[in-house]
Amino acid sequence: MKKLLIILFLSLTITANIWGIDYNHCRAIVHINGITTSAIDAQKNLDKLMFVYQSDTETLEYFLAYNPTKGFIGDVIDVIKQKLSENPTLMIDGKNLDFEMLVRAVVYHQQESVDKLTAKGVTVTTELETLTKKAYAQSMNDDPDLAIVKQNFEAELAATEADIGNKIKSLVLVPHSQGSIYANKIYQLFGATLPTARIVAVGTPASFVAGNGDYVTSYEDSVIGVVRAVASALQSNAHGYRSGDFMGHNFMSIYLSADETRIQIVNKITVALNTLPICNPLLPGHNCSDFLPEGLTAPVGRLYDNVKGCASSDIPEGYITFYRYNGTNGCVPNYTFAYKNAEIYTCQSSSNFTMIGSMKVDDFFKIATYTGNTTVCGGTNSHWIRYVP
């Protein structure tokens, strides 16, 4: 679970909340350790990662999916076996198809992936199902320890969600060394059942990063250099150093300490997070839904005219307030609601609007699903439909 390491971090969090930044917890960073790493050292890796990477705009959760060690020889043998069974693509009718997409389409019957295969001219036939399921089973059998890492991942995910009282909607996997191979397999084999994820692999012996993820491998990493000499592995793309680790491979003392590797890791985690769903997509002032929630309380906040004479909202933190348009402009949705303080409409007077009722944001999230942003009367609104389990 997340460890609050320093008083400074606590003070920054408190200060941020005072300034009204929304801290709806729903995103996480997950570390999977590499070979010959004890549980204690793996936790230290996570602590250092949390220290190095802190978001200025949200509170991220951090947890460890521990990869148990069998000792140096045992771990090296496992990596060799894993390298022999790497499976980024599957050859079907002369086409190299993304293995993860096939698993989602065939094993988990995910319609989006079926549609992607169809767009490539591939039909999900009985033969395709047989080949995909065989490769899926083989990937599981080739790596019996995968079940342990997956179990640790799921246990920590459940514990994190219980701790914050909210579902993790998206996460960034930051694996190191052998952990990168496990991250690839977790993404490929189980990604359809997990929160939306991206991977930023560190010091990776793998030949690819699943899900079009990214990676950082040091030119000075002798361990990956040895792997690359005997098997395919991604090329190095950053400079580290060997202070405290003559092999240049250590997660803490090399990758999270050397300036270039550390900066690249931080930047690539940020890029990954920017591609993932955010926790609270409500827009100040501009939101609409296809339904009016039941159980609204008396309206809170106010509608007023700003200095331009345009209707604006001033809603207390943590609430939304539905309002009705009393004019004749047909582009206004039936159910529009305000959030925080912002102009709500294209410069009409607040006298044209009537507040209907309010509810807590958390309660709204339980009954509504965000479908994206939409253009309403020339402005951008977040759009919501009723949640159906």
**Amino acid identity for residue 67 in this structure:** N
Q: Highest mean pLDDT: which of 50-59, 173-182, 236-245, 324-333? A: 173-182
Range of the structural domain that residue 95 is part of? 89-141
CA 389 vs. chain centroid, Å, equals: 21
Query: Is pLDDT of 332 > 80?
Result: no
Question: Do 217 and 258 reside in the same domain of the chain?
Answer: yes
Q: What tokens does 277 get?
A: 């769903």
Q: What tokens does 237 get?
A: 């793309």
Task: Name the pLDDT band for 21 (thresholds 50, 70, 90).
Answer: very low
Query: Is pLDDT of 7 > 70?
Result: no
Question: Do 46 and 182 reside in the same domain of the chain?
Answer: yes
Q: What digits encode the pLDDT tens for the residues 169-184?
A: 899 999 999 999 999 9
Question: Do 251 and 157 reside in the same domain of the chain?
Answer: yes
Question: Do 251 and 324 reside in the same domain of the chain?
Answer: no
Question: Do 80 and 188 reside in the same domain of the chain?
Answer: yes
Question: Do 209 and 63 reside in the same domain of the chain?
Answer: yes
The pLDDT assigned to 242 comes to 60
Q: What tokens does 114 get?
A: 């079926």
2 inside domain? no
Domain end residue (candidates: 214, 248, 274) = 274
Question: Do 39 and 94 reside in the same domain of the chain?
Answer: no
Quick one: which of 153, 222, 158, 210 has its CA closest to 185? 210
280 inside domain? no
Question: Do 34 and 156 reside in the same domain of the chain?
Answer: yes
Question: Do 107 and 219 reside in the same domain of the chain?
Answer: no
- The enclosing H or E element of 287 equals strand 287-289
Question: Do 162 and 45 reside in the same domain of the chain?
Answer: yes
Q: Which of 176-180, 221-225, 239-243, 252-256 has the lowest mean pLDDT?
A: 239-243
Query: Is pLDDT of 240 > 60?
Result: yes
327 inside domain? yes
**Residues 10-38, mean pLDDT to the nearest whole number:** 63
**pTM for the complete prediction?**
0.72
Question: Do 234 and 254 reside in the same domain of the chain?
Answer: yes
291 inside domain? yes
Query: Is pLDDT of 250 > 60?
Result: yes
- Inter-CA distances, 283 with 138, 248, 298, 338, Å: 46, 46, 22, 8
Q: What tokens does 269 get?
A: 């985690």
CA–CA separation, 246 and 244 (whole Å): 6
The pLDDT assigned to 312 comes to 93
CA–CA separation, 74 and 71 (whole Å): 5
116 inside domain? yes
Q: What digits encode the pLDDT tens for the residues 261-275?
A: 999 999 999 999 988
**Amino acid identity for residue 326 in this structure:** N
How many domains are contained in the chain?
3
CA–CA separation, 198 and 379 (whole Å): 31
Q: Where are the alpha helices (DSSP H) in the chain?
A: 7-18, 39-52, 72-84, 99-106, 111-119, 126-141, 146-164, 178-190, 222-230, 259-274, 361-367
The pLDDT assigned to 243 comes to 66
Question: Do 157 and 255 reside in the same domain of the chain?
Answer: yes
279 inside domain? no
175 inside domain? yes
Strand partners, 89: 98
The pLDDT assigned to 389 comes to 61
Angle at 223 between CA 220 and CA 227, to 5 degrees: 115
Task: Name the pLDDT band for 3 (thresholds 50, 70, 90).
Answer: very low
The C-alpha torsion from 162 through 163 and 166 to 172, rounded to 10°, is -100
- Inter-CA distances, 31 with 41, 64, 152, 246, 314, Å: 12, 5, 11, 23, 41
Q: What tokens does 178 get?
A: 């052998």
Query: Is pLDDT of 379 > 50?
Result: yes
Domain end residue (candidates: 226, 250, 274) = 274
Cα Rg, the chain, nearest whole Å: 25
CA–CA separation, 196 and 47 (whole Å): 23
79 inside domain? yes
Specify the CATH number for the domain of residue 73: 3.40.50
Domain end residue (candidates: 274, 309, 334) = 274
Across the beta sheet with 214-216, the strand order is 61-64, 27-32, 170-175, 196-202, 214-216
Q: What digits encode the pLDDT tens for the residues 98-131?
A: 888 888 888 888 888 888 888 888 888 888 888 8
